Amino acid sequence: MRGIPSLITDIRKKVFTEVARLAYAGKGYDRVDELPYIIVPGDQPLHRESVFLERAIASERVRLAMGLNIRPVQTRHLMTEGMDAAAVAEQYYEPPLINIIPYACHACPTNQYRVTESCQNCLAASCQKVCPRGAISFVNGKSCIDQEKCIKCGKCAKACPYHAIIHMERPCQVACGMDAIVQDGYGRAVINQDKCVACGQCLVSCPFGAIVDKGQIFQVIQSILQGDKVIAIVAPAFIGQFGKNSTPGKFIAAMKKLGFERIVEVAVGADMCTIEEAKDFVEKVPAEQKYMATSCCPAWHSMIYKLFPGEAANISMTLTPMVFTARLMKKKYPGCKVVFVGPCAAKKLEAIREDIRSDVDFVLTFEELQGMFEAKEVDFETIEELEDLNEGTAAGRGFAVSGGVAKAVAEMIKENDPDAEVLTARAEGLRECRKLMTLAKAGKYDGYLLEGMACPGGCIAGAGTLLPVELAAGVVSRYQKEAGKGSPLDSPYRDQGGELD
């Protein structure tokens, strides 16, 4: 559903916009309990059975957007509970990051075969004949499946000549490559946080908008208003996310209007990462380890630690582009605050790691940033362009798309040693990543560089993006071609990587 405008995307944008407006007003959170009435106006519900339920859900969305936990429904809790501690510029994310609002969940059916109106009551009755448990009978001229007898084998669906039997699955469960979605006693979805790696694919797959991640919009704006020098480091997937008029020059002007001191593309950190990871691979594979897994995607990284702990030593120790860029900014501009702006929900968890939280102060997704643009009434069609982003190379910008990391590292190795043979393999989507790691553990990829991306399509398919994946891939490709430099060795920061470790 990513990139398809819907009531869900409208509501999310409203929440982010109103939280940003509240923050920019500079009066704390005194008016926060008014926001649900702004987000859900009038006295008629838009899509649920009650306007009161819609406002209750909107209240939790606002709290989550401000980094707070969902309130339990069994006891009375004010909407403002906990905001004194959260609505400050120094507040970090507090797990769990990805949350399901219980009373927003539709309790979708899980793994069921159902007969649709397309059933023709045919004489062949193929569905009945192939069912190994006798779970199908004719009722009122239509096939009917007894769900208690059904073993979910799917033979009936394959046998039906009219394709009248469909397989229904819970969308969030299907999207979760970690099998972290279970259900409570009422059939509502629940996240097993021990398995979750915060990729956010369940969030973008829920047709009811019941799954929500925490945000830091309010905290970022508080930091800006209190006079901090706030630097935005922007992932290369940003290009095109805010409409056809959002050129890099206009994007910088828009970010300045929001109050950011300066804007730097994370592609410079990707270039540093490429150089260091190429060195890492050449030095360690196969001398010290069987293969090397890339370090960039935090959800891929977490998946390996959770499901393949014995293979974790094969992950590159190179810093991620976000951290390289953030440390570069902290070194160049002492005392600054750094906001990573990107497509990824999992980056929010990466940023709260004890070894990183002093480098990356805040994380915003493109979707959250769009709310800030709305709050400040930024019009990309009329805003005047400022300077361009021109320090990142084509290779660094290519990190945004699946395959881009492995390609950049392999080309860097060959640039240093034209005779080197670099074997690469990649996977996108956590289910495919698990298959890749299973084969790697079995020794099928010895000597390889393995790239894993939790989101199908790469970073351009992250949970915080606004564009359809195919369109985003094309825009990033053009952005790569516009780079003034091709190789990370042409980067002005090519020698900075080791100094920042």
For 179-196, how does the pLDDT look when each residue is reduced to its tens digit (9 = 90+)?
Answer: 999 999 999 999 999 999
Q: How far apart are CA 189 and CA 211, in angstroms?
A: 9
Q: What is the mean pLDDT of residues 47-70?
A: 96
Q: How far apart are CA 252 and CA 383, in angstroms?
A: 10
pLDDT at 64: 97
Does the structure show a pLDDT above 60 at 431?
yes
| CA angle in degrees (0–180, nearest 5) for 316-307-293 | 20
Q: What is the mean pLDDT of residues 305-329?
A: 97
Does the structure show a pLDDT above 80 at 450?
yes
Q: What is the mean pLDDT of residues 317-328?
A: 97
Q: What is the mean pLDDT of residues 422-449?
A: 98
Q: What is the mean pLDDT of residues 97-101?
A: 97
Pairing mode, strands 181-183 and 189-191: antiparallel
pLDDT at 90: 79
pLDDT at 89: 79
Q: What is the mean pLDDT of residues 319-332?
A: 97
pLDDT at 187: 95
* 343: Cβ contacts below 8 Å, ≥ 6 apart: 235, 237, 238, 241, 365, 366, 400, 455, 459, 460, 461, 462, 463, 464, 465
Q: Is 99 left (phi over 0), alpha (psi -120 to 50) or beta?
A: beta
Q: What is the mean pLDDT of residues 273-292?
A: 97
Evaluate whether 236 touches 396 at the Cβ level (below 8 Å). yes
Evaluate whether 291 touches 257 at the Cβ level (below 8 Å). no
293 forms bridges with which residues in the sheet? Answer: 315, 450
pLDDT at 86: 81
Q: How far apart are CA 153 and CA 132, in angstroms?
A: 9
Q: How far apart are CA 305 and CA 224, in angstroms?
A: 36
Q: Residue 32 corresponds to which tokens in the numbers above?
A: 């926060």
pLDDT at 94: 82
When computed from its CA atoms, the radius of gyration of the chain, rounded to whole angstroms, is: 25
Q: What is the mean pLDDT of residues 75-90?
A: 88
Closest CA to 88 of 143, 151, 28: 28
pLDDT at 501: 53
Which residue is listed with tokens 């709290």? Answer: 63
* Confidence band for 497, pLDDT divided at 50, 70 and 90: low
Does the structure show a pLDDT above 90 at 46?
no
What are all long-range contacts of 194-197, with beta carbons under 8 Å and residues at least 24 apart?
194/306, 195/306, 196/96, 196/98, 197/298, 197/299, 197/302, 197/303, 197/306, 197/346, 197/349, 197/430, 197/454
- List of domains in the chain: 1-88 (no CATH), 95-107+171-213 (3.30.70.20), 112-168 (3.30.70.20), 219-500 (3.40.950.10)
Does the structure show a pLDDT above 60 at 500?
no
Does the structure show a pLDDT above 80 at 337?
yes
> How much of the chain, in percent, has pLDDT values that exceed 70?
99
Q: Residue 53 corresponds to which tokens in the numbers above?
A: 């339920």
Cis peptide before 132 (omega within 30 of 0): no
Q: How far apart are CA 269 and CA 284, in angstroms?
A: 22
Which residue is listed with tokens 């033979």? Answer: 155
* Confidence band for 153, pLDDT divided at 50, 70 and 90: very high
The greatest distance separating any two alpha carbons of the chain, rounded to the nearest whole angstrom, comes to 79
Distances (CA, A) of 320 to 332, 355, 488: 18, 13, 15
pLDDT at 372: 98
* Confidence band for 42, pLDDT divided at 50, 70 and 90: very high
Does the structure show a pLDDT above 80 at 1?
no
339 forms bridges with which residues in the sheet? Answer: 232, 362
Q: How far apart are CA 214 and CA 346, in angstroms?
A: 11
pLDDT at 115: 97
Closest CA to 302 of 434, 408, 410, 457: 434
Render pLDDT for 204-260 as a digit per residue (tens, 0 to 9): 999 999 999 999 999 999 999 999 999 999 999 999 999 999 999 999 999 999 999
Q: Residue 15 corresponds to which tokens in the numbers above?
A: 């929440």
Q: Residue 19 corresponds to which tokens in the numbers above?
A: 């939280």
- Residue 6: CB atoms within 10 A of its CB come to 11
pLDDT at 498: 56
Pairing mode, strands 292-293 and 448-453: parallel
> How much of the chain, in percent, has pLDDT values that exceed 90?
91
pLDDT at 499: 58
Q: How far apart are CA 174 and CA 111, in angstroms?
A: 10
